[in-house]
Amino acid sequence: MSISFENRVAIVTGAGGGLGRAYALELAARGAKVVINDFGGSRDGSGGSSEAAEKVVAEIREKGGHAIADGGNVTRFEDMQALVARTLAEFGRIDVLINNAGILRDKTFAKMSTEDFRAVVDVHLIGSANATKAVWEVMRAQGYGRILMTSSTSGVYGNFGQSNYGAAKAGLIGLMNVLHFEGARYGIKVNAVLPTAATRMTGDMMDEEMLRHLAPENVVPAALFLVGEEAPSRVALLAGAGTVARMAIVESEGVYLPAGRRTPEAVAEAFATISSLDGSIETEAGLAHVDRIIANARTAEAKG
């Protein structure tokens, strides 16, 4: 099986460097026409110019590929609408959106200003929602779309000093889960990648030996699989250093507390069983969880 992006048009946000650049180069090498968005700011999100995006466009064109640059800021919905309008004017359709733009403002929660919290949520979570909203109607009308959210282990497992970032990255898993349902009937598939790579974002967090394994190119296979024609939907892949794994949210089987035993003390007593993931379940949808707990209650009631 070969994965081609011939005749496909892809937008990659934050593609002026790091992972976004690596995705864009491989998409172009596999035939996609690529829109390189990057507002060219510093790691904390200040400043900005379209120079970073233009450099990547030049790299793609040198190799005979098709690309245009866009200096839009993902936090501004008008910029994302303009990005979509330019993409359609230039290339006529939009098949793939990779929400990749990101910033960091790491601090302990005690020292973090609400402004630093908001700025990070604004770029990762609101920025991804902005870009997705801007392409959504186009993809619905085409009956085809592939959207990739960039989450992080910080979001689903936690990392010290990244409350703003972790909250935003977990939010993207929530956005993926819901858009998976809303996009399904229009041929739109929504997935997430949880990368680990040596970029300017992580360069000072890891030692030489670790960085050696973490070329951004090692994340590209998982990301491109998730935006390809045969992509699954609502799949979150961890990728880096040659390992690709699936991240899943599961719930424990839990315990049923009969009426009259529904006390905090009963929860404390059963806590080991409640917490055990033996026989855990990956739940299909929020309503499927409701069905399960109602079924438990009905079964218990029928037994008397």
Stretch that binds ligand NAD, among 16-24, 87-95, 107-115, 137-145 (CB under 6 A): 16-24
Distance in Å, CB of 144 to ligand NAD, minimum: 24
By beta-carbon proximity to ligand NAD, the closer residue of 13 and 163 is 13
Decide: is 133 part of the binding site for ligand NAD (CB under 6 A).
no
Which of 23, 144, 157, 165 is catalytic? The answer is 165
Q: Give the binding-site size for ligand NAD (rule: CB under 6 A).
A: 34
Q: How far apart are CA 276 and CA 88, in angstroms?
A: 51
SS (H, E, C) 134-202: HHHHHHHHHCCEEEEEECCHHHHCCCCCEHHHHHHHHHHHHHHHHHHHHHHCCCEEEEEEEECCCCCCC
Helix pair 51-62, 18-29: axis angle to 10 deg: 30
Q: Which stretch binds ligand NAD (CB under 6 A): 9-17, 84-92, 108-116, 156-164?
A: 9-17
Is 166 one of the binding residues for ligand NAD (CB under 6 A)? no
* Given 19, 149, 176, 222, the residue binding ligand NAD (CB under 6 A): 19
Cβ-based neighbour number of residue 127 at 10 Å: 27
Q: How far is the CB of 33 from ligand NAD (least distance, A)?
A: 19
**Residue 130 is a binding residue for ligand NAD (CB under 6 A):** no
Q: Is residue 45 within the footprint of ligand NAD (CB under 6 A)?
A: yes
Task: Report the distance separating Cα 69 and Cα 51, nearest Å.
Answer: 9
Question: Which C-beta is closer to ligand NAD: that of 152 or that of 163?
Answer: 152
User: Does residue number 13 form part of the binding site for ligand NAD (CB under 6 A)?
Assistant: yes
Residue with tokens 């466009």: 57
**Quick check: helix, strand or coil at residue 221?**
helix
Phi, psi of 208 (to 5 degrees): -50, -50
Look up tokens 């959106």; give the residue: 97
Of 196, 223, 226, 234, the one binding ligand NAD (CB under 6 A) is: 196
Chain centroid offset of residue 142 CA: 22
> Is residue 141 within 8 Å of 185, Cβ to Cβ?
no
Per CB under 6 A, contacts with ligand NAD among 84-113 are 100-103
Q: What is the pairing mode between strands 9-12 and 33-37? A: parallel
Of the ranges 87-95, 135-143, 189-197, 228-236, which one interacts with ligand NAD (CB under 6 A)?
A: 189-197
Question: Binding to ligand NAD (CB under 6 A): which residues in 235-264?
Answer: none
Identified binder of ligand NAD from the candidate list 9, 11, 17, 139, rule CB under 6 A: 17
Q: Any contact of residue 171 with ligand NAD (CB under 6 A)?
A: no
Question: Among 9, 20, 33, 50, which residue sits at the site for ligand NAD (rule: CB under 6 A)?
Answer: 20
Alpha-carbon distances of 114 from 36, 121, 273, rounded to whole Å: 31, 11, 38
Q: What are phi and psi of 164, to 5 degrees?
A: -65, -50
Of the residues 50, 130, 150, 218, which one makes contact with ligand NAD according to CB under 6 A? 150
Stretch that binds ligand NAD, among 59-67, 72-80, 269-277, 283-291 (CB under 6 A): 72-80
CA 13, 14, 16, 20 torsion-angle sign: negative
Q: For residue 23, indicate whether it is catalytic.
A: no
Binding interface with ligand NAD (CB under 6 A): 13-14, 16-20, 37-41, 43, 45, 52, 73-75, 100-103, 123-124, 127, 150, 152, 195-197, 199-202
